[in-house]
Each structure stands twice: as C-alpha cells, then as structure tokens.
Structure 1
Amino acid sequence: MSQPPPPPNQPPPGGFGAPQNPPPGGFGAPQNPPPGGFGAPQNPPPGGFGAPQTPPVPPQTPPQTPPPPAQGPGYGYPQPPAPPQQQPYGNPQQPGYGYPSPQPGYGYPQQPGYGYPQPPQGGGRKGPSAQVWIIVSAVVAIALIVGGGVWYAKSSSGSGKSDNSASDDRGRDKGGTGGPGAGSKEKAPADTAAKVLFQVPAPEVKDKQEIDSVTGSWLTGSVYAKAGVNKIVGYDPDSGTTKWTLPLNGQTCAGSPEISSSGVAAVVSESGKRANARDRKPCSDITAFEVATGKKLWTRSVKTGDTPVAFGEVSISGTTVAVGAGYYGGAAFDATSGKVLWQPKTGSCTDVGYAGGEQLVAVRKCGDYGDEAYEVQLLDPRTGAVRWSYKLPKGIDNAKVVSTKPVVFGVDSGDITASGATDVFSLDDTGKLRTKITLADGKYEHACGVGKVHDCHAIVVGNDKLYVPTEQHDGTAQGARTNEIVAFSLATGKTTGDRIDAGDGYDIFPIRMDGGNLLAYKSGPFDKGAQVVSVDGTNLRQTELLETPASAEVLGAISSMVPKSSELLYIEGRLFFGKALVSKPYSADAKAYTALGFGVK
C-alpha cells in the first residue's frame, strides 16, 4: 500500500469526518460561487478543504443464508433463491461483491472502489478477516489525522474508472491496435500548472446508519456530469455552472464507464426514494440520457415473474446498453429507443455481467449451484448471439474484464484475497488463449472488484501489452518511497522490460491509453502537486500534462478522494475526481466533496 506523505504539525479545525453540506456560500459551491470561491486567493472555511469522510464499518460476520424471495427484493440488490446455508452468487462464505449483504443497512457493498477497506472473500481463501480490516481501517484513520491537514493513505483497490467521452468511449479499450504513439490526442499545454475549476459539496447525511450513493460520473469537452442523490447534474467543466439536472426515481447503483459515439450514457438506479437510512429499494431502473443536454431518453426495467430484476453493473457497446444482475442474468436495450434486445435467460446458463467499449464481452455461468462453470464470451451487441466462447478452468468462480479489444480478463485464484487479479488471460480474435500472465499477490497495486465484471482499475491494456503498477518500495534517496509501472507482453506473458519510474517520493499508476501513449497519474510528496503524465509508448518518455496546486488544503482534499479508487477522469487538460458513497460526518466542522475538478485552461 502506498505511504501517506510526511504530515505537517498541527491538525486543522474540524478534524476527520465524512461529508456534509458546507455552510451557505461555502467554498466550492458548483453553482454561482461567491466572489473568490474555492481556488481563488482567499482563506477556506474552518475544517479545511476536502476533510475526508469516515468509512462505514462493514458487517463482521455475513449471515450464511440469504432471506427467502418471498420477503421481497430487499435493499440494494435482491437475494436470489438458494439452498439452505448457501449464498446464491460468488463465494458461499460471503455475499457477492456488488450485491447486498443480508445485514441491514448495507445495501451497498463496502468495496475498495469507494475508498473503504473490504474484507476478503471466504471459501477457504487465506487472508485477513473482516475484523482485521475494521481494526486496520480505524488505525489508519486515526494515524492520518495529522497536523496542518488531513492525509489519506492510498487504497490499493478501487474504482478509478477510465476516461469516458464521446470521442474516446473507454480508455481501457484504446490502444490495442496501431503503433506506439499513434492516435494520441492529449497534448501538453504551455503551462501545466492547474487551477481548481470547481468542486461539488457532498450532500448532507444526518443518520449515522445512512450511506447514500452518488455513483457515476462522465466527462466530455463540454460537460462534467456527476450523480447526486436521486439525480444527475451536468456542470460546465470549467466554471461549475449547472447546465442541466436530470431527476431519477432513486439513488444511483451503477453508471456506464462509457459514453456512446452519439453522446449517450446510462445508469442503474433504485426504483424509488429511500424513506429512511434502513430503506433500500431494488436497483431495477435503467436510464439512458444525453450527456450534453441531460435529456432522458428512456427508463426501463425487466421482471422475473412479478419481481423487478435488480442490476449491479451497466456498460455500453455501440448502440447497446447491457446490464448485469449476477445470479439473475443480464439484459440489453437499444441506447436510443430503450427497446429490449434481450432479457435474463432461464435455464442452467446465465450472463453474470458485461463489459462494453469497442466490443461486448459477457461472463456467463452454467451449471447447478456449487458446480458452476464460467465462460468468457464475445457477443453480437445487437442480438446477444455468441461469436465465440472461452471456458475457464474448473474451480474459478470469477472473471474480471480488463479490455474488450483485445479481450483480456483476470481472475483471482488460489489462496489469494488481496489482489485484483492474480492471473490475467489474453485471448486472440477467435477466442483462443494467447498467453496467461501471473501477477504475484502483494507485488502489484492494481485492483478489481469482487463479483464485478468490469471493475478493474490501475491496470490497462495497450500496444499489445498489459500495464500494471508495482507496490511501493524504497527509492534511491534515503527515506524515499517510490514505485513504477511495468509491462507484460500479451503474446508471451513475460515482462517486456518496459519500466515507467515514478521517481523518489512519487507513486504512479496507469489511467488509460491515449492512442499509443499511456496516461498515468502520479501523486507526490507532501509539498508537491499531483500530476497527470503522458508516457510515450516507444521510448517511455514522460510528458507532464497537468499538475495540481500543492497547498495542504488541496492535497488533503485530493487524498480524501483516494485517487486510485475514485471515478478518475481526464480529458483535454481537465482532471476530475468523483466519489461514489457518502455518509454522516464524523465532525460537525468537517467538509467534504463528491467531485473535484482541476484544469490547465
């Protein structure tokens, strides 16, 4: 895990806490900010900019038996039927990642993607217990309340989504073809010193049991869209002025990492507003909207019998919006009209979920409970017809898609719990195995969500290579820590010798491909700003594109977003961090935000 920067000496007023609404006129209001505002030369309000939020404590002992279907869909996601003492999805010792825990109040998983530590899966795999994670989390929180600002340790897992614009649908799928440097769009400005563009204050949360979801963000050249509670708001990416607001029936559960070529994105949301902190509606609404205007194109749901199916993921490929529901299977819709292209299938095989972008890839599960076999399939995005299928070895109960063109996916196998993927498979255009890449547990700092099909972060495919960051280690200077990005060949499975050094005091991880170049994020020492760099795919030369301000307030706010875990988006000199979950503040003076924006324009 990355080490936090050396702290200053005095704690700020307000201390450590979760998000709450700032006082009227507080700094960083995204609409009509007061003169000076956040980022202008004025003093911030007490509590400091971006005081981090307190992660909720995950349930320590998940029940072994889900509630029966007759009790309703439950909160967050429904529990599918299963034999006694068995979980319907994923590992039988723990509820599937992205689907609800039977524990009341945890309709959303405590997953690495949102900056909260997650207990590892059970089922005999070795790793720290839930109690250990809770203790470590508390110790880290206390240790990081340090003088002069609040600093967060980097998460080694997360939800740093790839850039999603109409002109570049999904960064993780770019760069698979063409020579190094070909098609690169991001150019270095004359001055890389970024200013704060604006920030979105976190919504007020009053109940300590309440965890509200604001999952989903999208960035184009003209709009930054961010999910709020029961809505999505489109902002001018330079000023923060509100351009549009799209009301939703309930809180968002998932957002498409892609924007279609026609400018359409999609979200999964709850079917109604929550009445209280314990109230969770099923994540059964799928909505498509135009990012430029906020116009809702349609909202749809599908049922099994009389029960709406709750979905945990959504992805876009071409003109198809595909949603996955794990045990219940998947469905797809036309992005413009909302026409149902296919619905969850009955029988022994179901689609666990999909990954979109340049191609549509499904993870399919077949067989009776306890004896399932998994396959990775390339689908026709308009019909769902299978073009080819690759069967996973027996005993592997997960597959996380890293890239859809070429198709590259990872699995977490063996006695492993802390890594995103310990084995990565590279397939050719016919679905045949090219090679397998082994990523030793504890050596690399990428992450993939458990039970999610397209939730891998800090691991990128391009130039026929797999780019992954190493864990931090000692640097060349005394006391300095650093890491690097290394590359593996998708043809041989061996390291290529490519080594992208962060430099002493810095930590680096890949964001996405930009043609043949790799975009990477670098966090620095306590007195240096964070950077976005472009790495030439041939000579590995790093070109700085942006550097954030280095003030303690700004760096503390960035750290609280946990960059490797946040919805991290970069386009044309603009960098945005987005959070997915918010909870009650730890301190009445705490300040927190669901989005931060920086730009060199």
Structure 2
Amino acid sequence: MPYTPPSWYPPGHASAPPRRSRRDAGLTALAVGLALLVVAVAGAGWYGYGPAGRAPAATAAPPASSSASPSPRTAAPDRFPDAGDLAAARRPGEAAAWIAEDSTDLPRRNIPVHGPWIVGDTVVQAVYREVTARRLSDGAEVWSLTLPTPVCEAPADTTPDGRIVVVLATSGSQRGARCDRFQLIDLRTGKAGWRKELLRGIERDPVIVVDTAISGDTLAVARNTRATAYRVTDGGRLFDVPVENPGRCRPDRVAGGSRLLVGASCAIGVDRRASYAQLRELDPRTGAVRWRHRTPAGRGVERMVSVDPVVYTSLDNERLTDDWRIVAVGPRGETLRTIDPRPKGFEHCAHVGIDAGLQPCPGILVGHGLVHVGGGDRVGAYDLGTGKLVWGVQGHDGRSLTPVRSDSATGTVVYESALPSTPGRTFVLGKDGAEREKTLLKHPAAAAAAEYGTDAGRVLSVGGRIVLTPSIVSGDDARHEPRIVSFAPAPE
C-alpha cells in the first residue's frame, strides 16, 4: 500500500497497523472531496538525485446458501460523479475520465480485487462472486458473470486468446472453505466453461491455499509443497512438478506469462539462515526443466518483477523487507546482477506485503535494460547491466510515484497519486531522467476523490490510458469505493 506509515510490519504482526488505515483516515476528506467538482491543482515540486544528464450478461449456477451470506445493503453514500458530471466539470487541459462503481452485495470484511486483465478493448476484474468487463473507452459494462462461490485466487496472466481459470471456494463462508474448485472463463465473452475440483483426493487439509499461473495453454497450481500443471482448454492433467535435491526443494509458488516459473523453498528447518530458495523455468507443455537458479543461503525469492527477462526481488529470511534486493537472472539460471535499492529509500513492491504469490510486484517494472523502482514518494531507474542508478526524482507532499511503462523513444511514464481533494497526474521522464519531465495527463479535479479511493492499488498503462484499481474493497456499506478509475487524453 503506497501510503503505509514508515513503521511498517509484515501482515499479521502484533504491532502492525490496520492495512486500510489510509482509507479509514481519509473517509471524512473523501466525503468532502465528493462534493467538489472543481479544486485547485497543487504544484509538483520535483528535485533530482543521483547522476543527471544521461455483451450481454452471462450467469453461472446460483450460489449455495451460507451462514456468511452478505447482509442487505444500507443506504449508499453520495455517488461518485458519472460520465456526464465529469465531462461537464472538466476544465481546459484536463484529461477525460470515467469511474466505475459496483453495488454488489459483499460480506462485511475486506474483499480482494483480482485483476485487472486487459482483453481486447475491455478491462476485466473479479470481486467476490462477480467477474465484470468494462469498455476501456468509457467504462460501460460489456458483460458480467456471477459465480456460485467467491473467487479466492486468480492468475496474473490470461491465455493469449483471453481465457483464464479462477479458483473458487467451496462455499461463501469466511472460514473453513477449501479453495479447490477451478472455473474456466472466456474473458472476451463472459461465458463460463468447465468447472472441476482439480485437487480432490490430492490434499486432505480442511483448507487449501493455492497459487496459480498461466503460460500459454498451461495452468500451473501450487498448493502447500506441491505443484501440478493442467491444460486450460479442458482441465486435463499435464504433469506434476517434482520435488528436487532430493526432497529438500519443495515447490510452493508459480509465475506465468511468456514463461512458466516455479519457486521452491529449500532446506526448510529451524535455522532460517541455512534455508534458501530455488527458481526453475519449465517447458509449459512437457514440464521439462530449462534451467535452475538458487539464492544464497538465508535468502528467498519473494516477487517476480519480470519473467522475460527474469528479474525478482529477494528478501533476507529473518529481516524480510528491511533487507531486500533486486536480482536479474541470465539465460542459464545464473545471477547476472544484484541491486540494492535501499540506500535511495525505495520500497519493496509498494509495500504489497509478503507470503503471497510470486506475482505481481507493484511499483517496479523492467524495460529497455532498466529496472524502474517506485511505489513510495520517489521513482528511479537502475541499469541492469551495471547495477548503477541512472536517474531518480522525488516528490514532496506524500504522493506515491509509480512507473507504469518504459518506452525506448520517450522514456518512463510515471503515475503520481492523488490526495483526498487534489487529483494526481501522469507524466513522462525522458531517457535522461528528471531534467526532461513532461505532463501527459492532467487528471481532472472532479475525479480526485474516486482516484484517491483506489489507493493506487494497481496502476496500468494501456495505449495512452491510465487504469487504476484498488487491491481490496470493503463490504462496509458506509465506505464509498470505486472499482476502476481511468484517464485518457481529452478529445479535441
């Protein structure tokens, strides 16, 4: 979370502040911001550091009854401005915008937002039991699919033709539900395909926590200390990922996209200084190992920044995010470069937390030989060849800076987050860094409250358009939260 206080603790730590404390503290300001359609835009105030000068709705089976079914919704707070409001309030030079809201009944707890996935001209996300596609150009709903039980896991990537397999809970209950029902969905049409309990008979635990990834037509599923691959097309079993070394490296997480990677924890025991991690690239069709990579003793693989080239974040097993690095891996699994971003104050994956899947790592991206690091109040780029900082800039008023795209011709596109009643913006830093800054999108003041409400959970750049989604939403009806906020150049 970009606005986590400096005294950060891993989730579940006894001293950890509530994960949503930023939004809780901003409820009053959020309500005030909703009433404002025109506000003053604050100046940016940057300074450099480091070297310079270089369809119809489709519906699945009805949900099973559950004691934890959502309560009837109470009266909703004031709505966010709609497309007409935003167009009428837009000032000269401001970007066009749309805001997507959702009145779906949710249990009174924090609900993860899965996605977004960009499929054709739509943006798709899954929240609780609903998967919804909206048109990128104006946010209009294209289709919505209701699932029988909540989504508890979804891959970061789809198949090349826009299909995905999500993991469903056995019931709507908050506790004691197994996550072992797999559902194929065509994100182009919103049509549900096969549904299977792929892990039935493999595990006997009352609760299964799984991690999934898609590469081509292969779905990889890691659960506990096992991993198995299935065909996306029909759910047929392809291969099991073997335990190696012998029996000391147990697969526990997977990453997909243009490559299929499997992470494993090795030499697990009382002495965390002796345990290490392994990465393997597998042929997604046969399971054949293409290369292996091992971390030093006492360190683990935390999040994949990129699968091509392979770049990941590494944590010390005891100090966790207090001691993190960025590691680039070569074509044979060798370590090419290790970068320490801590001296410049960069955050690990925008404080997304630990002990989750290998993907994603918000706030860090790779492009054109550079790894761009942001997510806090600064953004910079390191050369993957030399490991040296090429450029960096820092804001001044608590806004987070997130690199969202690297372009060889123009430079690095950066998103600057909003404040409760002050909009953010999207700007580009030239290839030489801070000395060549240009605003691309001046976000409209009328959308500031909704933009702030996304917490900059996920930030995507799609053909000149910025798409913002929260990483979690609340089932508390008193919290008025957007599902998606999007900005694009205003029509002439």
Q: Same fold (TM over 0.5)?
A: yes
Residues 76-87 of structure 1 mapped to structure 2, 5 A cutoff: none
Secondary structure, in 3 states, of the residue corresponding to 1:558?
Answer: helix
Partner deviation per Cα, 1:51-76 (whole Å, 9 max, x = no partner): xxxxxxxxxxxxxxxxxxxxxxxxxx
TM-superposition CA deviations, 1:363-382 (whole Å, max 9, x none): 12234544643211222121
The CA deviation at 1:437 is 0.9
Q: 1:144 to 1:229 in 2, by over 3 A?
A: closer
Answer yes or no: is 1:316 the counterpart of 2:214: yes
Q: 1:570 aligns with which of 443, 452, 461?
A: 461
Residue equivalent to 1:380: 283
Alignment of 1:21-420 (within 5 A): 119-120=9-10, 130-134=14-18, 141-142=24-25, 145-146=28-29, 148-149=32-33, 193-205=94-106, 207=108, 210-274=109-173, 278-300=174-196, 301-305=198-202, 307=204, 310-325=208-223, 327-343=224-240, 345=242, 347-367=247-267, 369-370=269-270, 372-413=275-316, 416-418=319-321
Cα distance in 2, alignment partners of residues 294 and 354 from structure 1: 26
Q: Using the alignment, how far apart are the partners of 1:360 and 1:436 within structure 2? A: 22
- The offset of 1:412, in angstroms, is 1.7
Higher relative contact order (CA 8 A, sep 6+): 1
1:560 is aligned to 453
Does structure 1 residue 579 correspond to structure 2 residue 465?
no
Tell me the distance in 1 between the aligned counterparts of 2:26 and 2:203.
50
The amino acid across from 1:120 in the alignment is P
SS in 1 for 2:483: strand
Q: What is the deviation of 1:217?
A: 2.2
Q: Distance in 2 between matches of 1:140 and 1:206?
A: 18
Any unmatched runs of 5+ in structure 2? 35-91
Contact 2:303–2:361, Cα closer than 8 Å, also in 1: yes
Distance 2:127 2:464 in 1: 24
Question: Letter of the aligned partner of 1:312 in structure 2?
Answer: V
In structure 1, distance between residues paired with 2:343 and 2:320: 9
Take 1:422 and 1:444, find their aligned partners in 2: how far apart are those partners?
10
SS of 2:453's partner is helix
Aligned match for 2:367, one of 453, 462, 477: 462
Aligned to 1:13: none
Q: Deviation digits for residues 169-202 of structure 1, max 9, x if unmatched?
A: xxxxxxxxxxxxxxxxxxxxxx973333241225
Partner of 1:530: 424
Q: Is contact 2:418-2:452 (8 Å) kept?
A: no
Shift of 1:450: 1.0
CA positional deviation for 1:394? 1.5
Structure 1 residues 18-48: Cα deviation after superposition (integer angstroms, max 9, x where no partner):
xxxxxxxxxxxxxxxxxxxxxxxxxxxxxxx
Contact 1:253 1:269 in 2 (8 A): yes
Do the aligned partners of residues 489 and 570 (structure 1) sit closer, same or farther apart at CA in structure 2, a change above 3 Å counting? closer
Matches of 1:443 and 1:118, distance apart in 2 = 14
Q: CA deviation at 1:140?
A: 8.1
Change over 3 Å in CA distance of 1:391–1:336 after alignment to 2: same
Within the candidate set 353, 356, 362, 1:449 is matched to 353
Q: Contact 1:546 / 1:573 at 8 angstroms: preserved in 2?
A: no
Q: Which residue of 1 aligns with 2:329?
A: 427
Give how far 1:214 is off.
3.9
Identity of aligned residues (%): 23
Structure 1 residues 220 and 461, CA, compared in 2 at 3 Å: closer, same or farther?
same
> 1:121·1:417 contact (CA, 8 Å) conserved in 2?
no
Q: CA deviation at 1:286?
A: 2.8
Number of corresponding residues: 419
Residue of structure 1 in register with 2:381 after alignment: 487
- TM-score, scaled to structure 2: 0.73
Q: Which has more strand, going by share of residues? A: 2
